[in-house]
């Protein structure tokens, strides 16, 4: 099955920070793939903007290297040259006057206009001011901002204020790239497009939900940033919270940006504060062949967590009594992200005690592969009585939809949504603030307790306390990468 490609309208996309790591690894390769699929009309312009001394030619060389180095670069490299004709560069300083008139003169008034703030948040205010000063913002101009969107409620409010003083909220696209993943959108399709699941999607039938985002990599070259951030701010407040919202939210009246975001917001507001004994922080230790977290961040005293596991509760009619367990960490056994919806046992077994306890489980896998599996109980084949067995009903998208099915990278999807003007998969200001309002007391709590993260073996399942968090309640995390 080949997906339907609908080209976007002619656009000018300006990437502030066009020479940076995000532009090189994600934004430019994503645009190239959409170009190869015919979604970007010829004549559209992608303008890199940064302080580096580059010309249009050297920026095109930079972009060529970036798109060809991408993991999943399309094989039709012949299209690279055509793609490069869309690219331009302006030397600009977000904090000074250089380059702004040049950029302004390049823009066309009668096409879609989007400014991608792929720079540190400390520059958002300056960029917003100068875009206005130079009258570059039209009514339907779009502003794309990246995480981290603040490091607490106060800083998030300040960023929102900087943006709202210059742009309408309908113009602002806050990226959480997890929302661009095909399976995350499929979660909504599975829940709200099928009669099968929704009647069971509540505490009467669901024992618990677990959300895991495990990474095999350590902090890499981001040590200085990560040591100030940690897993709670870097992953839980945004990615895991968004996955929780999509899993727990009520059906919106329609699939429209504010209807979806209103329902997500209600979930965050229904989250109870997390009790300290429902919270585990960890830090990966060194191995014979890899450095530990403290060496990676070059801070031997670091008390920052590279792992968090917690139990939380959504206090509303649908979820009262069904715990949500979240865990995320670096240097774990494998790269593995998934949502597990664990259904309750049948109320009574007609097969007797020897058949054992069985329950259904819906597994929504986000990475490394995307797919959905439903675990069902069947009879073990063969003679000798009624023995039961749990088997997966697998729906790996690649297999089910055939080799031509296109599952675009999250950035491809999200950038096209920006250009189409669809905000459904982007976080609204009140959502971000509500997420920080829930996260802040957790962080303040462990700071007040001088909490020291528990060490865990690199390439393991995380600290033993995280296992105990569930085992104490007769439950188990699904093994990472099983
Ligand atoms: P980066 O590699 O440090 O790049 C920063 C970019 O900003 C460079 O292009 C730099 O170019 C430009 N810049 C810095 N000061 C400037 C100024 N005064 N005026 C104009 N341009 C300026 O950072 P990054 O990794 O690309 O990240 C960009 C943003 O995305 C950050 O907020 C980051 O947290 C976020 N993010 C990044 C990733 C990722 O995987 N990299 C993932 C999620 C979110 P010049 O030095 O040439 O000016």
Q: What is the DSSP string of 228-271?
A: HHHHIIIIIIIIIHHHHHHHHPPPPSSS-HHHHHHHHHHHHHTB
For residue 193, what are its two tokens?
A: 């497009």
Q: In terms of pLDDT, which residue wins out, 385 or 280?
A: 280
Calculate mean pLDDT across residues 292-320.
97
pLDDT score recorded for residue 183 = 85
**Which of 93, 169, 94 minimizes the C-alpha distance to 128?**
94
Domain map (residue ranges) of the chain: 11-146, 179-408+428-471
pLDDT at 381: 85
Under a CB-based contact definition with an 8 Å cutoff, are residues 53 and 94 in contact? no
Amino acid 380: pLDDT: 85
Beta bridge partners of 394: 373
Cα 187 to Cα 175: distance, rounded to the nearest angstrom? 19
pLDDT band, very low/low/confident/very high, at 349 (cuts 50, 70, 90): confident
Centroid of ligand 1 to alpha carbon of 266 (angstroms): 33
Judge if 11-146 and 179-408+428-471 fold alike in CATH terms.
no
103 pLDDT more than 90: yes
Q: What percent of the chain has pLDDT over 90?
A: 80
Q: Which stretch of 16-25, 57-66, 178-187, 254-263 has the lowest confidence by average pLDDT?
A: 178-187
> Which whole-number Å values give the CA distances from 98 to 51, 339, 474, in the listed order?
9, 48, 62
Could you list the beta-strand ranges (E) of 4-101: 11-16, 45-50, 87-91
Q: Which whole number is the average pLDDT over 292-298? A: 96
User: Active site residue: 177, 208, 239, 358, which one?
Assistant: 239
- Confidence (pLDDT) at 354: 79
pLDDT(1) > 60: no
Residue 227 — pLDDT band, cuts 50, 70, 90? very high
Question: What is the rounded average pLDDT of the residues 154-159?
Answer: 97
239 flagged as catalytic: yes
Per-residue pLDDT at 389: 87
Q: pTM of the predicted model, to two decimals?
A: 0.94
**Ligand 1 pocket, residues with Cβ under 6 angstroms:** 16-23, 50-52, 92-95, 118-121, 123, 146-148
Four-way CATH pick for 179-408+428-471: 3.10.20.30, 3.30.530.20, 3.30.160.20, 3.30.360.10: 3.30.360.10
pLDDT greater at residue 381 or residue 267: 267
- Mean pLDDT, the chain, integer: 93
Binned at pLDDT 50, 70 and 90, residue 150 comes out as very high
CATH 3.10.20.30 fits 11-146, yes or no: no
Residue 400: the pLDDT is 66
Q: What percent of the chain is predicted at pLDDT more than 70?
A: 96
Q: Does position 395 have pLDDT exceeding 80, yes or no?
A: no
Residue of 16, 21, 102, 174 best suited for mutating to test ligand 1, as the one with most atoms within 8 Å of CB: 21
């Amino acid at each position: 099955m080949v997906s339907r490609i609908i080209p976007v309208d002619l656009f000018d996309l300006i990437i502030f920070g066009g020479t940076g790591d995000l532009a090189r690894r994600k934004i430019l390769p994503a645009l190239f793939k959409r170009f190869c699929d015919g979604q970007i009309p010829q004549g559209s312009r992608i303008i890199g903007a940064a302080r580096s001394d580059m010309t249009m030619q050297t920026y095109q060389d930079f972009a060529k290297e970036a798109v060809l180095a991408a993991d999943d670069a399309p094989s039709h490299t012949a299209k690279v040259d055509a793609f490069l004709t869309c690219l331009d560069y302006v030397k600009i300083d977000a904090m000074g006057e250089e380059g702004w008139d040049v950029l302004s003169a390049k823009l066309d008034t009668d096409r879609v206009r989007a400014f991608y703030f792929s720079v540190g948040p400390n520059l958002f205010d300056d960029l917003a001011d100068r875009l206005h000063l130079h009258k570059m913002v039209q009514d339907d101009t779009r502003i794309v901002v990246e995480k981290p969107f603040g490091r607490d409620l106060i800083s998030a409010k300040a960023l929102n204020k900087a943006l709202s003083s210059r742009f309408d909220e309908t113009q602002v696209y806050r990226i959480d790239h997890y929302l661009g993943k095909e399976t995350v959108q499929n979660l909504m399709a599975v829940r709200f497009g099928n009669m099968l699941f929704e009647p069971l999607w509540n505490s009467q039938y669901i024992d618990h939900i677990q959300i895991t985002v495990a990474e095999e990599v350590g902090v890499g070259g981001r040590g200085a940033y990560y040591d100030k951030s940690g897993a709670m701010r870097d992953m839980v407040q945004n990615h895991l919270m968004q996955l929780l919202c999509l899993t727990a939210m009520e059906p919106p009246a329609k699939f429209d940006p504010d209807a979806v975001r209103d329902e997500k917001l209600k979930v965050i507001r229904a989250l109870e504060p997390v009790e300290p004994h429902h919270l585990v922080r960890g830090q990966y230790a060194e191995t014979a062949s890899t450095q530990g977290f403290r060496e990676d961040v070059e801070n031997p005293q670091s008390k920052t967590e590279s792992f968090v596991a917690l139990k939380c509760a959504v206090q509303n009619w649908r979820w009262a009594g069904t715990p949500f367990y979240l865990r995320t960490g670096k240097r774990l056994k494998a790269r593995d992200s998934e949502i597990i919806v664990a259904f309750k046992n049948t109320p009574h077994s007609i097969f007797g005690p020897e058949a054992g306890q069985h329950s259904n489980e819906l597994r929504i896998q986000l990475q490394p592969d995307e797919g959905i599996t439903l675990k069902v109980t069947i009879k073990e084949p063969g003679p000798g009585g009624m023995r039961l067995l749990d088997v997966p009903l697998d729906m790996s998208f690649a297999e089910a939809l055939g080799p031509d099915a296109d599952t675009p990278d999250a950035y491809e999807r999200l950038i096209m949504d920006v250009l189409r003007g669809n905000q459904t998969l982007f976080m609204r200001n009140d959502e971000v603030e509500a997420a920080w309002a829930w996260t802040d007391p957790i962080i303040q709590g462990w700071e007040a307790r001088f909490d020291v993260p528990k060490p865990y073996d690199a390439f393991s399942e995380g600290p033993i306390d995280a296992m105990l968090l569930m085992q104490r309640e007769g439950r188990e995390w699904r093994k990472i990468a099983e």
